[in-house]
A and B are shown apart, each in its own frame.
Chain A
């Protein structure tokens, strides 16, 4: 089975779903495992996807590619999609897209991944600075479609991600700082796997 969403259930999904909304501690419970190669991309064109690339490097992932704006073809050669959610007016402007078309594009990308049974990790690692009206539209449209959520806890002050996680039964891990994502990536991407994608 291509989809590599292995529930290790150390503490069970229920534990993940009851993570506190205002978590102060990094949640590193092993919940899920994913396969490489990984495609890291942005929905909203903020700098978050680039930060995820840095985190993937630090985590020592052996096979990942970063594309700020990925194509459907990029998805097809990946075994996991990491979509970093966060809108940047400047980023959208530079990409020549508006928020509506970006959300539509994100939905199309997610649908294609699901069609190929490629699991989706949705990340919000920029915290509250990326929780404006545009970012929230992206989060509400796409986070519920993901298979796993990694969220900086300052982005969840209003409980939005807890709500999405609970209502959609999506495992979620909160981190205090973006750097705390490194051990999580190391845990959910077993080191043994080698892929054929190069960082670009």
Chain B
């Protein structure tokens, strides 16, 4: 049999196209009855199933989060924390703060810098936050939304490349082999003491047991019952029974701002919603649509400078809102943003270390002179861990969650018998420094450490949800969120292209502009000519996070995109 070259070419194209479509299909989904995007397709599918069963966006988001605790145990889980932003179809916007708290016994003299071990942990908030959201804003029972996670923990799931990479690339493997307290982790995550192959089925019966306890007893099982006792024991009393009993999630007003007429609904302190809002407010003073797009050095320069100035304000003005009165109205005011924008020279870079904070108190309705000053900028090591869940349901309810253990594998402290790891959030505090008496991020009992989570919801001019997004990526989170919003609103990119486009990060903690590979040589050269020092990373590099997002188009189409940088997935009911 003979085939012409043309026919062979067509067959090859179809074959390659088929594979490509299969790959995209797992990461990009389109529907009209709701959509879930997360770091794992299995988790998104569980959320979509909840939507198909009549659940709302909150039900689906909570179910997805619990499934991620099973299939992505290195990035979030029962021992972690997070922040949830809600935009409800009835017009209410809420922000549920389930950030972790420092244990009650710490003092400002406590060393907050251990990276692993019991003394790196904070009181976990995930269970309180998710169960609170479900109770207040969901429609299903806890047992219903926990069912998919329990099933996967019992029956198993195939580990993917990201899972294997993180086991293989991390000191956690060494610790599991050498530390007798990680015997249970070794039994769950390793196979015969070896890192499992991609596709290996993994079960976590201990975590299934913990989730079943939650289903039967509610959050009390975690904060007052047998799991609480196990946490106290696992941390050697670093976290106490009293700490766990005291913990509660907080339902807050989100921060809101306007960008090109769209409403940005984000997280209040002690995370980075304010950085996203301020950077976009500054960019409101420039017409980005006149630039070619994400590869235009002029646009990159303006965005980098806006992000730099916004990040400079984070250190002195963002702290735990339950400990400090913060100048949010000033930071969010258009006048403040306009004055900050005037610091940007389109033809010259602001040296990152020279970008200074502004004085938002001048822009407060009732001016205050109590400006915190003298806070040093610390270089966060910045693990690209954490995870993002974005959901929109058929009625227009939307949920954006960013959850974390801080580093991948958190504190590397496993809670024996319950199959989950505790966070290592404590290192996000600053050590006490008498030269910085106004440091808002100094460690104190029951305080939340300052971090950079930024789950975000964008609503269009009519108040309808347009975009639900967020990302892991530590210090890169605000920049990746801002760039994705600009890519969609200013440059009109489809969501998958907006996410896939290379990302950069500009912040005062970095000496240079950090850029993913993929920008053109001429763009890099032009940025260098403006004075930017460039540090280049890989293509679609996990370092720049892993946006999982849902766009609800005006025609009713919902597009879900799972991260291209971390093998995410999207799913919606048929």
Contact, CB under 8 Å: B193 / A54? yes
| Measured CA separation A47–B194 after assembly (Å) | 10
B193: which A residues are within 8 A, CB to CB? Answer: 54, 57-58
Whether, in the assembled complex, B295 has its beta carbon less than 8 Å from a beta carbon of chain A, the answer is no
Interface flags, A81-99, vs B, CB<8A=1, else 0: 0000000111100100000
| Structural contact, B169 and A55, CB atoms closer than 8 A | no
Residue of A nearest to B190 (CB): A54
Whether A35 sits at the interface, judged by CB under 8 Å, is no
CB distance from B385 to the nearest CB of A (A): 12
Whether a CB of chain A sits under 8 angstroms from the CB of B174 is: yes
> A47 to B168, Cβ gap below 8 A?
yes
Say yes or no: A127-B194 contact (C-beta < 8 A), given A50-B177, A88-B169.
no
- Any A CB within 8 A of the CB of B173: yes
CB-based nearest B residue for A89: B169
Contacts of B192 in A (CB 8 A): 54, 58, 179
A 157-185 binary contact with B (CB < 8 Å = 1; else 0): 00000000000000000000111000000
- Per the bound structure, the CA–CA distance linking A130 and B198 in Å amounts to 12
Name the distance in Å between A198's Cβ and chain B's nearest Cβ.
16
Among A57, A88, A177, which residue has its beta carbon within 8 angstroms of that of B168? A88
B508 → chain A closest CB, angstroms: 23
Judging by beta carbons under 8 Å apart, are A55 and B198 in contact? no
B169 touches A91 (CB 8 A): yes
A46 interface residue (CB < 8 Å to B): yes
Interface residues of B in 523-555 (CB under 8 A from A): none
Q: How far is the CB of B381 from chain A (nearest CB, A)?
A: 10
Q: When chains A and B are docked, how far (Å) is the Cα of A179 from the Cα of B197?
A: 10
Contact between chains at A47 and B197 (CB < 8 Å): no
Residue A147 interfacial (CB < 8 Å): no
Q: Which residues of the other chain, B, contact A128 by a CB distance below 8 angstroms? A: 198
Are A178 and B194 interface neighbours, CB within 8 A? yes
Cα A50 to Cα B164 with chains together (Å): 15
Q: What are the residues of chain A within 8 A of B246 when measuring CB–CB?
A: none
- A58 contact set on B, CB distance < 8 A: 192-193
| Contact of B194 (CB < 8 Å), options: A55, A89, A90, A94 | A55
Judge whether A177 and B195 touch: CB under 8 Å.
Answer: no
Contact of A47 among B169, B191, B198 (CB under 8 A): B169
Is B165 in the interface zone, CB < 8 Å from A?
yes
Given A129-B161, A129-B164, A129-B165, CB of A51 within 8 Å of CB of B195: yes
Closest B residue, CB atoms, query A48: B168
Cβ–Cβ < 8 Å partners of B169 in chain A: 46-47, 88-91
Kindly list chain B residues whose C-beta atoms are within 8 Å of the C-beta of A102: none
In the bound complex, do residue B173 and residue A47 qualify as a contact, i.e. CB atoms below 8 Å apart? Answer: yes
A46 to B173, CA, bound (A): 11
Asked if B168 contacts A126 (CB within 8 A), the reply is yes
B197 touches A50 (CB 8 A): no
Which residues 35-79 in A have Cβ within 8 Å of B in the complex? 46-48, 50-51, 54-55, 57-58
Residues of A within 8 A of B197 (CB): 127, 154, 177-178
**Residue B170 is within 8 A (CB to CB) of chain A in the complex:** yes
Residues of A within 8 A of B191 (CB): 179
CB < 8 Å: which of A90, A91, A126 contacts B195?
A126
Q: Is B171 an interface residue (CB 8 A)?
A: yes
User: Complex formed: what's the CA distance from A42 to B171 in Å?
Assistant: 14
B186-202 Cβ-contact flags toward A at 8 Å (1 or 0): 00000111110110000
The answer on a CB contact under 8 Å between A90 and B177 is: no
A54-B193, A154-B197 are known; give 20 further A-B pairs, CB within 8 A.
A46-B168, A46-B169, A47-B167, A48-B168, A50-B173, A51-B194, A58-B192, A58-B193, A90-B170, A91-B169, A94-B171, A126-B195, A127-B198, A129-B161, A129-B165, A129-B168, A130-B168, A178-B195, A179-B191, A179-B194
Q: 9 tightest CB-CB pairs across the interface, nearest first?
A: A54-B193, A47-B168, A88-B169, A47-B173, A90-B169, A178-B194, A51-B194, A129-B164, A129-B165
